[in-house]
Amino acid sequence: MPGTPAVPIAGNRFCILGGASLVGSATAGELLDHGAAEVVLFDNFTFGSDAAIAHLRDHPRLRLVRGDVMRMADLLRATEGMAGVLQLAAYMTLSMDRDPWGGLDVNIRGVQNALEACRANRVGKVVFASSNAVYGYGPGVAGDLVEGTPFHSVGAPPAAILYGASKIIGEQLCRDAHRKWGQDYVVLRYSTVYGERQHHRAANALYIIETLERVRRGEPPEVFGDGSETKHFVYVGDLARANRMAFERAATDVAVNASGPAPITTLELVTLVTELAGGGPAPRCVGAEPGKVRLTSGGAFRIAHEEAFRVLGWRPEVDMREGLRRLIAWRDSNEGRVA
279: Cβ–Cβ under 8 A, 6 or more apart, which residues? none
Q: Determine, yes or no, domain membership for 218.
A: no
Q: Which of 96, 86, 83, 94 is nearest to 18 (CA)?
A: 86
Which pLDDT score is estimated for 339? 52
Check whether 306 has a pLDDT greater than 80. yes
* Segment 238-249 mean pLDDT: 98
Q: Determine, yes or no, domain membership for 128.
A: yes
Which pLDDT score is estimated for 219? 93
Q: Determine, yes or no, domain membership for 228.
A: no
Which pLDDT score is estimated for 317? 98
Check whether 324 has a pLDDT greater than 70. yes
Query: What CATH number does residue 165 fall under?
Result: 3.40.50.720
Q: Determine, yes or no, domain membership for 167.
A: yes
Mean pLDDT of the chain: 91
Q: Determine, yes or no, domain membership for 281.
A: no
Check whether 165 has a pLDDT greater than 70. yes
Which pLDDT score is estimated for 94? 86
pLDDT tens digits, 28-62: 999 999 999 999 999 999 888 888 899 998 999 99
Which pLDDT score is estimated for 1? 38
Query: How far, in Å, are 115, 226, 239, 258 from residue 191 at the CA level?
Result: 23, 22, 9, 6
HSE at residue 135, side-chain half, CA atoms within 13 A, is 28
Q: Determine, yes or no, domain membership for 83.
A: yes
Q: Determine, yes or no, domain membership for 227.
A: no
Is residue 215 within 8 Å of 274, Cβ to Cβ? yes
Range of the domain at 313: 13-195+234-260+298-317
Residue 114 CA to residue 47 CA, distance in Å, equals 18
Check whether 338 has a pLDDT greater than 60. no
Query: Is the model more confident about 4 or about 314?
Result: 314
Is residue 330 within 8 Å of 278, Cβ to Cβ? no
Beta-strand relationship, 233-235 and 125-131: unpaired
Q: What is the DSSP letter of 186?
A: E
Residue 320 CA to residue 263 CA, distance in Å, equals 9
Check whether 293 has a pLDDT greater than 90. no
pLDDT confidence tier of residue 230, bands split at 50, 70 and 90: confident
Q: Determine, yes or no, domain membership for 215.
A: no
* Segment 7-14 mean pLDDT: 98
Query: Is the model more confident about 241 or about 154?
Result: 241
Domain count, the chain: 1
Which pLDDT score is estimated for 253? 98
pLDDT confidence tier of residue 249, bands split at 50, 70 and 90: very high
